[in-house]
Amino acid sequence: MTLKTSMHSMKKTLVLIAAAAGLSLAAGPALASGGGHALRDGGFSFEGPFGTFDQGQLQRGYKVYREVCSACHSMNLMHFRTLAEPGGPFFDAHQANPAENRFVKALAKEIQVPDIDTETGEPVMRDATPADRFPNPYPNATAAAAANGGAAPPDLSVMAKARHGGANYIYSLLTGYHAPPAELTIRPGQNYNVYMAGDLTPFWKGDAAHVPAGGFIAMPNPLRAGQVTYDDGTEASVDQMSKDVAAYIAWASDPKQVQRKQAGVGVMIFLLLFAGITYMSYRRIWKGVAH
Amino acid sequence: MSDHESTYVPKTGVEKWLDSRLPIVRFGADYMSLPTPKNLNYWWTFGGILALCLVTQIATGIVLAMHYVPNTELAFASVERIMRDVNSGDLIRYTHANGASMFFVAVYLHMLRGLYYGSYKAPREMIWIVGCVIFFLMIATAFLGYVLPWGQMSYWGAEVITNLIGAIPLIGEPILIWLRGGPAIDNATLNRFFSLHYLLPFVIAGCVVLHLWALHHAGQGNPVGILIPKDREKKDMVPFHPYFTVKDGFAVILFLILFALFVFFMPNALGHADNYIPANPLQTPAHIVPEWYMLPFYAILRAIPDKFGGVVAMFGSIGVLFILPWLDTSKVRSMRYRPTMRTFFIIFVLVGMGLGWCGAQLPDAPVVGSFKTFILIDGDLNSYLWLTRLFTAYYFAFFLIILPVVGLKETPLAIPATISEPVLSGGDAMTAAAAASAEKKG
């Protein structure tokens, strides 16, 4: 086979592989269709193949979670030590062992966790250590549901992976508590949010062709301006806090993502070089063989 | 195993001793020197790619099983723990999850290659049939594996698919209970699914051995689709190594680039976000959809208004592949020389993709715009339900009507006498100099 024909058939193969991949990707958004408004873009630093987390933003986001969200939402998959891992909000290059990280030790110490007294076997409360999990705000799922009108607030550990749109969805939702249109009947114990999935047709008394986007959410608007005092002096607007906590949850949902992407760049360079060398070997071995 | 003459000569004393007792080195050497048609194009590289996929899935799967906990209370957290606390666990798990998708990309292309070039025709029927068995086992394994993380789609996918078995008259219900290990999907179901998910890949590996055995016995097909007579072997064939190890190797690396793109940069792009919500038997997700590679079959299932009928059609759509060698009446293997059939084949590929697209949509949703036309039997004509039915009809017609009829009616193009004839660069013989230099390089 000549170079031209071999390149041609290779190209056809590649086009087909790309088409198959494209089709499956295109099916993704189709699955997500229905419900809310187009999401707001938080312009997050960690997006794209070279994006990294903004450590200051993660620290602010953790503070919003700790002081606001954690009153109702658990993060059962998180340990305090995770906060000090590479890429995390409190990673310290001088203290590589997360369990010894001074920031995380101090943060954990502020929080009481249940334990069993090793002498008496009695339940006790003690200061948390980096090895502890984030405490659960409720003793069990039933108590969580009972305190929140029948539905337990979801765990936030992997929330950015559990919703289409990830961090942009969380950011949009937290800033999506718009004043409801007058023709919309709000169900008791529910709140209107333009980014929540749902169908408002049954509650809409206005023009049937213009049912508002969005849905009902049990969580009332959790954030108001100035609710958190940021240590770095950033103004704690609702938009800022929403963005920061969305970034923090995106990190917590996949704490290794930036390291993985960085490794991926190296892997890609290696594979491309390897492909080039192998192609040259192929050309050389097949030289003189018509095929 | 292979029919070609062995050229292996044991050199050292150890090799000679071993060769007269267990000729395993000879087996490998013969495999490497297997005469292979020199005109195989890149569509023939997917066999090697699939072997890599299987090895990757087994290797990553074994490590995952060291950390995974098959318990409804702990499974979800154990998968996340692998990605957070196990060394390189995120890569291992994402490789395994995306590896399933890559496996199916490759197997679909491999099967379409077989369909286009008539790789299933005599004397290669058994290669194709064993391949169909492998494909069916792959679907079963992928389904079982998808249940293991115990997310919402895991649970509800298992619910929908096991319920299908219950649709079989009379024996369905007892089989359903036996399969689930109880009246509902619970811990017993998860445990047996884990056990079977670990077992089936090794059954696949066994079938791959049979697949290769049959391949080496009947000989490789080729894009021209003619059998290569013994006296042309020297001119039309080259040893597998180094010629095809390097060509397959190049294709494998290109495939790995695609694979790595997903694993490192968009590991969740092919999955569904709902599977990161822990399974909740009391809350049905808004849309229950399988992974992309099952969507065409899911579409066929939903196209039939009767539940049991849908199950029959879905299994039938895979079952029909098994009898494909006897449905095709054409004497010509390669569709390169069957222009009429080639057109039907291209439509078939598009219909297959169309079925996949339909499988991801709500059946009642309109296809064009948002207007209604008229109700035909049980659904609006402008709906995915009817588009799916149209595609399903073509899918079955392709195998049951088009292949047998076109094979008898069409006039194929002239087929070259040798595989060297169509080669654009002319020369049909591998020159002695080229052979010698290749040996040096290999």
pLDDT for B103 equals 98
CATH of domain B36-288: 1.20.810.10
Do the Cβ atoms of A260 and B264 come closer than 8 Å? yes
Find the closest chain A residue to B427 by CA distance: A290
Q: Which residues of A touch B427 (CB under 8 A)?
A: 290
Tokens describing residue A61: 């986001």
Asked if the C-beta of A93 comes within 8 angstroms of chain B's C-beta atoms, the answer is no
φ, ψ dihedrals at B121, nearest 5°: -80, 160
φ, ψ dihedrals at B56, nearest 5°: -60, -45
Asked if the C-beta of B32 comes within 8 angstroms of chain A's C-beta atoms, the answer is no
Q: Is the dihedral of CA B339, B341, B347, B350 positive or negative?
A: negative
For residue A6, tell me if it sits in a domain. Answer: no
φ, ψ dihedrals at B284, nearest 5°: -80, 130
Find the closest chain B residue to A83 by CA distance: B84
Do the Cβ atoms of A128 and A122 come closer than 8 Å? no
For residue A135, tell me if it sits in a domain. Answer: yes
Structural domain spans, chain B: 36-288, 298-419
Is A255 in Cβ contact with B42 (below 8 Å)? no
Share of chain B above pLDDT 90, in %: 83
Is B108 in Cβ contact with A279 (below 8 Å)? no
φ, ψ dihedrals at A217, nearest 5°: -135, 140
Asked if the C-beta of B39 comes within 8 angstroms of chain A's C-beta atoms, the answer is yes
Share of chain B above pLDDT 70, in %: 95
**Tens digits of residue pLDDT in A134-186:** 999 999 999 999 999 888 999 999 999 999 999 999 999 999 999 999 899 99
CA distance B37 to B47: 15
> Residues B380-402: what's their mean pLDDT?
96
> Parallel, antiparallel, or unpaired for β A191-193 and A215-217?
antiparallel
Compare CB distances from A13 to B43, B83, B276 and report the shortest one's residue: B43
Asked if the C-beta of B249 comes within 8 angstroms of chain A's C-beta atoms, the answer is yes
ipTM of the complex: 0.90
> Residues B75-91: what's their mean pLDDT?
97
Q: Which residues of A touch B270 (CB under 8 A)?
A: 24-25, 28
Find the closest chain B residue to A82 by CA distance: B84
Low-confidence residues in chain A, pLDDT < 70: 1-36
For residue A172, tell me if it sits in a domain. Answer: yes
**Most A-contacting residue of B49, B74, B82, B83 (CB-CB within 10 A), to test interface:** B83
Q: Which residues of B touch A289 (CB under 8 A)?
A: 38, 238, 243, 430, 434, 438
| Lowest model confidence (mean pLDDT) among A256-265, B161-170, B416-425 | B416-425
Q: At what angle do helices B152-166 and B172-180 cross, to 10 degrees?
A: 150
For residue A261, tell me if it sits in a domain. Answer: yes
Is B426 in Cβ contact with A13 (below 8 Å)? no
pLDDT-based confidence at B233, cuts 50/70/90? confident
Tokens describing residue B258: 């695609």
For residue A229, tell me if it sits in a domain. Answer: yes
DSSP-based three-state secondary structure for B70: coil
The DSSP H or E segment spanning A258 is helix A257-285
Please report the DSSP string for B258-327 in residue order: HHHIIIII-TTTTS-GGGGSBP-TT---S-----GGGHHHHHHHHHSSSHHHHHHHHHHHHHHHHTHHHH
Is B353 in Cβ contact with A157 (below 8 Å)? no
Please report which residue ranges of A33-146 form alpha helices under DSSP H: 55-67, 102-109, 141-146
Tokens describing residue B388: 């799916």
> Parallel, antiparallel, or unpaired for β B379-380 and B375-376?
antiparallel
> Parallel, antiparallel, or unpaired for β B375-376 and A123-127?
unpaired
Report whether A1 belongs to an annotated binding site. Answer: no
Total-model pTM: 0.91
Cis peptide before B201 (omega within 30 of 0): no
CA B28 to chain centre: 26
For residue A66, tell me if it sits in a domain. Answer: yes
Number of domains in chain A: 1
Cis peptide before B123 (omega within 30 of 0): yes
For residue A28, tell me if it sits in a domain. Answer: no
CA distance B112 to B119: 10
Asked if the C-beta of B256 comes within 8 angstroms of chain A's C-beta atoms, the answer is yes
CA distance B84 to A82: 9
Is B277 in Cβ contact with A271 (below 8 Å)? no
| Lowest model confidence (mean pLDDT) among B20-29, B212-221, B226-235 | B226-235
CATH number reported for the structural domain that contains residue A123 in this entry: 1.10.760.10
pLDDT-based confidence at B318, cuts 50/70/90? very high
φ, ψ dihedrals at A41, nearest 5°: -100, 115
CA distance B387 to B368: 11
| Residue numbers of the domain that contains A168 | 35-285
For residue A268, tell me if it sits in a domain. Answer: yes
**Tens digits of residue pLDDT in A233-256:** 999 999 999 999 999 999 999 999
CA distance B267 to A91: 24
**Tens digits of residue pLDDT in B57-69:** 999 999 999 999 9
pLDDT-based confidence at B377, cuts 50/70/90? confident
Asked if the C-beta of B322 comes within 8 angstroms of chain A's C-beta atoms, the answer is no
